[in-house]
C-alpha cells in the first residue's frame, strides 16, 4: 500500500520535497490488531506542528515514517475480539492506504447513521472541539454575543451555528473570501461576517459588533486576537483553540499589543486541547446528531480524491482552499 512519509522538516511553508508517497508491503494483522483499508483520512492544521522537531503536546512525526492522523476505513482482516471483516472503524493511522491498527485504538462507527467522513469532522474531532470549546471552555451562556475566526472552517462553522442554536444574541464570523462570508450569513445563519483580507480586523469587527462581544473563539491568533481583546465586553471569555496565522512562521510572533485590557475588563483567555474533553462525547454526539437530522446544523466538507493528492490537500487547508472539513478520500 502507499503511504505518505515526512522526509524533511519544513522551514516555514511546507514544500512538496518535504514529503514522499512511498509503497510498503501490507502485512498482518498481528495479535490483537485489525487490518484496515482506509476510506477517508483527515488533514488538520495541528499536523503542521508535528512536522517540527520540538517538544509539544503531541510528539513530532518521525522522518521517513508514515505520518499519522484521523482516518476511517473498513476492516479487511481481524485478529482481535469484537472486530469482524466489514466493520467500519475510526482510528489514528491516516495518511496511508492500509493501516494495521491495535484494536484498542480503533472505534467502531456506524455507516448507516452518518456518512463515514462525518466521523472525522462534524461528528468527530473538529465537531467536539467546537462543542467543548464553546460550552465548556468559554462557558457560553444564552444572550452572549460570539465572535469566531476561521468561521468557514471545520471547527469555526460549527461554533457559530451551535452558539445560535443555544441562544446567542449575535454571532459574528470572519473568513478569508467573500464566498465564505456569504455562506456564513446565508447558509449558516450568522448575524454578520467579514472577509479579514478586505481591511483591518479590528475595524471590521467593531462595525460587525457595535455593542461588543462576550465570547471570542480563536482559531487564528495574531491581529484577530488583538481585535477580539479590544471588542470583548467586561468579564468576556476567549477560547484559545488555534493560531493558524502563525503555524508557518519562522520567527516568534509579537503578542497582542493591547493585552493590558485583560485587566480592566477582567477577561479570561483559556487555552484548550480537545482530548481533555472526551467526557462530553456522549452529549456531543446526541445533541449534534439531532441537530443534523433536524436540519438545524449544517456542515460542509471539501473532499480531495486520491492518496496521491494528500500533500496538496494539506497545503490547501493551510491556504484556505477548504470550506468546512478538509478530507482526503480513497474510495475511487
Ligand atoms: P479549518 O477547517 O478551519 O481550516 C483551516 C482554515 O484556516 C483555512 O480554511 C483558512 O480559511 C484559515 N486560515 C489559514 N491561514 C489563515 C490566516 N493566516 N489567517 C486567518 N485564517 C487562516 O481547520 P480546523 O477547523 O480543523 O481548525 C481550526 C483551528 O482550530 C486551527 O487553528 C486548529 O489548529 C485548531 N484546532 C485546535 C484543536 C485543539 O484541541 N486545540 C483541535 C482542532 C483544531 P480562510 O479562507 O478563512 O483563511
Q: pLDDT digits over 267-290, tens only?
A: 999 999 999 999 999 999 999 999
Q: Which fold has domain 125-275?
A: Rossmann fold (3.40.50)
Does residue 92's CB lie within 6 angstroms of at least one atom of ligand 1?
Answer: no
Which ligand 1 atom lies nearest to the CA of residue 196?
A: 20
Percent of the chain with pLDDT over 70: 100
Place domain 2-121+300-329 in its CATH homologous superfamily: Medium-chain alcohol dehydrogenases, catalytic domain (3.90.180.10)
What is the grid cell recorded at 6?
Answer: 515526512
Domain span(s) for CATH 3.40.50.720 in the chain? 125-275
Does residue 70's CB lie within 6 angstroms of at least one atom of ligand 1?
Answer: no
- pLDDT tens track for 170-227: 999 999 999 999 999 999 999 999 999 999 999 999 999 999 999 999 999 999 999 9
Confidence of residue 48 (pLDDT cuts 50, 70, 90): very high
40 compared with 255, residue with greater pLDDT:
40
Which ligand 1 atom lies nearest to the CA of residue 177?
A: 46
Confidence of residue 332 (pLDDT cuts 50, 70, 90): confident
Q: Mean pLDDT, to the nearest integer, of 291-310?
A: 97
Alpha carbons 33 and 203: distance in angstroms, whole number? 55
Q: Let me know if 12 is exposed, middle or buried by CB neighbors in 10 A (0-12, 13-18, 19+).
A: exposed
Does residue 127's CB lie within 6 angstroms of at least one atom of ligand 1?
Answer: no
Taking CA atoms, 190 is separated from 168, 182, 255, in Å, by 10, 10, 29
Residue 253's pLDDT is what?
A: 86
Residue 28 above 90 pLDDT?
Answer: no
Does residue 221's CB lie within 6 angstroms of at least one atom of ligand 1?
Answer: no
Residue written as grid cell 512525526: 61
* Ligand 1 centroid to residue 307 C-alpha, Å: 22
* Ligand 1 centroid to residue 208 C-alpha, Å: 21
Q: How many H helices and E strands in the chain?
A: 9, 15
252 compared with 227, residue with greater pLDDT:
227
Residue having the nearest C-alpha atom to atom 2 of ligand 1: 153
Domain span(s) for CATH 3.90.180.10 in the chain? 2-121+300-329
Q: Give this complex's ipTM.
A: 0.99
Does residue 101's CB lie within 6 angstroms of at least one atom of ligand 1?
Answer: no
* Ligand 1 centroid to residue 81 C-alpha, Å: 38
Alpha carbons 38 and 82: distance in angstroms, whole number? 19
Which ligand 1 atom lies nearest to the CA of residue 49?
A: 34
Residue 322's pLDDT is what?
A: 98
Q: Mean pLDDT, to the nearest integer, of 105-118?
A: 95
Q: Mean pLDDT, to the nearest integer, of 95-120?
A: 96
Does residue 261's CB lie within 6 angstroms of at least one atom of ligand 1?
Answer: no
* Ligand 1 centroid to residue 4 C-alpha, Å: 22
Q: Which string of DSSP letters, residue by residue, matches 272-324?
A: --GGGGGGGHHHHHHHHHHHHHHTSS---EEEEESGGGHHHHHHHHHHT--SB
Mutate to test the pocket of ligand 1, among 132, 138, 155 (most ligand atoms within 8 A of CB): 155
Does residue 158's CB lie within 6 angstroms of at least one atom of ligand 1?
Answer: no
pTM metric for this prediction: 0.98
Residue 43's pLDDT is what?
A: 98
Does residue 8's CB lie within 6 angstroms of at least one atom of ligand 1?
Answer: no
Mean residue pLDDT across the chain = 97
Confidence of residue 254 (pLDDT cuts 50, 70, 90): confident
Which ligand 1 atom lies nearest to the CA of residue 323?
A: 9
Q: Let me know if 261 is exposed, middle or buried by CB neighbors in 10 A (0-12, 13-18, 19+).
A: middle
* Ligand 1 centroid to residue 218 C-alpha, Å: 9
Residue 165's pLDDT is what?
A: 98
Q: Mean pLDDT, to the nearest integer, of 135-154?
A: 98
Amino acid at each position: 500500500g502507499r503511504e505518505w512519509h515526512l522526509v524533511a522538516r519544513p522551514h516555514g511553508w511546507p514544500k512538496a520535497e518535504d514529503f514522499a508517497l512511498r509503497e510498503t508491503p501490507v502485512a498482518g494483522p498481528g495479535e490483537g490488531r485489525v487490518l484496515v483499508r482506509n476510506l477517508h483520512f483527515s488533514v488538520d492544521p495541528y499536523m503542521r506542528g508535528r512536522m517540527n522537531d520540538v517538544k509539544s503536546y503531541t510528539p513530532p512525526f518521525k522522518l521517513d515514517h508514515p505520518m499519522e492522523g484521523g482516518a476511517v476505513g473498513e476492516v479487511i482482516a481481524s485478529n482481535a475480539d469484537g472486530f469482524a471483516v466489514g466493520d467500519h472503524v475510526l482510528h489514528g493511522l491516516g495518511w496511508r492506504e492500509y493501516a494495521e491498527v491495535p484494536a484498542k485504538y480503533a472505534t467502531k462507527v456506524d455507516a448507516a447513521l452518518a456518512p463515514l467522513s462525518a466521523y472525522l469532522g462534524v461528528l468527530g474531532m473538529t465537531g467536539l472541539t467546537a462543542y467543548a470549546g464553546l460550552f465548556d471552555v468559554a462557558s457560553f451562556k444564552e444572550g452572549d454575543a460570539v465572535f469566531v475566526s476561521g468561521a468557514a472552517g471545520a471547527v469555526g462553522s460549527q461554533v457559530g451555528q451551535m452558539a445560535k442554536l443555544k441562544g446567542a444574541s449575535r454571532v459574528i464570523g470572519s473568513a478569508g473570501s467573500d464566498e465564505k462570508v456569504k455562506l456564513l450569513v446565508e447558509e449558516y445563519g450568522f448575524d454578520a461576517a467579514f472577509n479579514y483580507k478586505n481591511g483591518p480586523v479590528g475595524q471590521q469587527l467593531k462595525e460587525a459588533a457595535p455593542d461588543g462581544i462576550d465570547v471570542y473563539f480563536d482559531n487564528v491568533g495574531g491581529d484577530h486576537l488583538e481585535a477580539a481583546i479590544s471588542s470583548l465586553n467586561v468579564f468576556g471569555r476567549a477560547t484559545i483553540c488555534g493560531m493558524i496565522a502563525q503555524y508557518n512562521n519562522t520567527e516568534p510572533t509579537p503578542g497582542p499589543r493591547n493585552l493590558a485590557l485583560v485587566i480592566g475588563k477582567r477577561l479570561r483567555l483559556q487555552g484548550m486541547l480537545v482530548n481533555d474533553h472526551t467526557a462530553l462525547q456522549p452529549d456531543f454526539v446526541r445533541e449534534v446528531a439531532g441537530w443534523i437530522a433536524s436540519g438545524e446544523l449544517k456542515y460542509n466538507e471539501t473532499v480531495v480524491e486520491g492518496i496521491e493528492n494528500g500533500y496538496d490537500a494539506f497545503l490547501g487547508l493551510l491556504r484556505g482552499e477548504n470550506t468546512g472539513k478538509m478530507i482526503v478520500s480513497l474510495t475511487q
